[in-house]
Amino acid sequence: MYESFFGLSGNPFSLLPDANFLYLSKRHNHVLNLLEYGSLTHSGFMVITGDVGAGKTTVIRHFMRDLPGEITVGLITNPSKGLGSLLAWITKTFEIEGLGRDDASMYHAFIAFLVDEYAKDRRVVIIIDEAQNLPSDMLEELRMLSNVNNESDQLLQIVLVGQPELLATLKRPDLRQFVQRISAHCNLTALDAYETAAYIRYRLGVVGGSDAIFDDIACAAAYFFTFGVPRLINMLCDQALMYAFAEDEKFVTFYTVLEVVNDRSTSGLTAFRAVANDQPQDDLLQELETILDQIRTVRADPELAYSN
């Protein structure tokens, strides 16, 4: 709705996990490098965790998009025991037709699929998103599936992606053998102040937008109110652009961001940081000046972004 007003070719802050909009912060880049390294070294199990809205699915989509042709990848999202067995999910993902739909038939059909892919010099990767929903018996089923690998040949690689609750499940004593198969784990954290500003401008740039649409203090406010969580940044910035458009303003300012936050707080439908009704705007601006200093310090010396 506001795209043409700001000279944008699309929505820069869509909540959809579009790989084209992946901003490689220090942690996002680390996760992507880990996935790429795992695919090259034929790692068996890898685990990626992160809080809600941290950008896990976007990283996975980016990784899948750039996988080499000799890898066959299947993505399973939101698995649940109530929606069928894990083998049913896997065979459906890879469009494998078994002789029957019982677990034994699906298992043998999947093994035959792996062997056939291996004969074609192809490896198979299963990525399970929202893996915190997997009960322990499904995780054990995955471990058993990985037994198809032998000492010299890796036919199957499994990547589990989920919220921190996944780690709590993996710490169960009955999953000791599963945990011993995990070759790498990485936790995806929120963005810092500098990364939040760079993230906003990067996404604007993808759709041809100007850096000037969000001034520095507006970016600092976005970090302050969203805690640096990418999904919340998208929600806030999308609404801020809508508010600016409605007011016929070509730029988003601190006051635009604050208006969005206050309106969401009034409705009770918000995940943004709350601001006390009696807190003077000048006091809030003073807090944002500290954040603004962090943004400008790193911008002046980009090496600082990777110093911790």
Give domain limits for the chain: 26-188, 191-306
State pTM to two decimals: 0.89
Beta bridge partners of 49: 162, 187
Report pLDDT for 38. 83
Q: Per-residue DSSP letters for 245-291?
A: HHTT-SSB-HHHHHHHHHHHHHHT---SPP--TT--HHHHHHHHHHH
DSSP 55: S
Which strands make up the sheet holding 182-188, listed edge to edge? 71-77, 123-129, 156-162, 45-50, 182-188
- Amino acid symbol at 209: G
d(CA 270, CA 78): 24
Print pLDDT tens along the chain (308 aa): 899 999 999 999 999 999 999 999 999 999 999 888 888 777 778 999 999 999 999 999 999 988 888 889 999 987 766 556 788 888 889 998 766 678 888 888 998 999 899 889 888 999 999 999 888 888 888 888 877 765 567 788 899 999 999 998 888 888 888 888 888 899 999 999 999 999 999 999 999 999 999 999 999 999 999 999 999 999 999 999 999 999 999 999 999 999 999 888 876 667 888 776 666 777 888 889 999 998 988 988 776 665 55
d(CA 228, CA 199): 10
Q: Which residues are CB-contacts of 181 (< 8 A; sequence separation ≥ 6)?
A: 44, 45, 143, 146
d(CA 236, CA 72): 37
Report pLDDT for 50. 94
CATH number of 26-188: 3.40.50.300
Report pLDDT for 12. 97
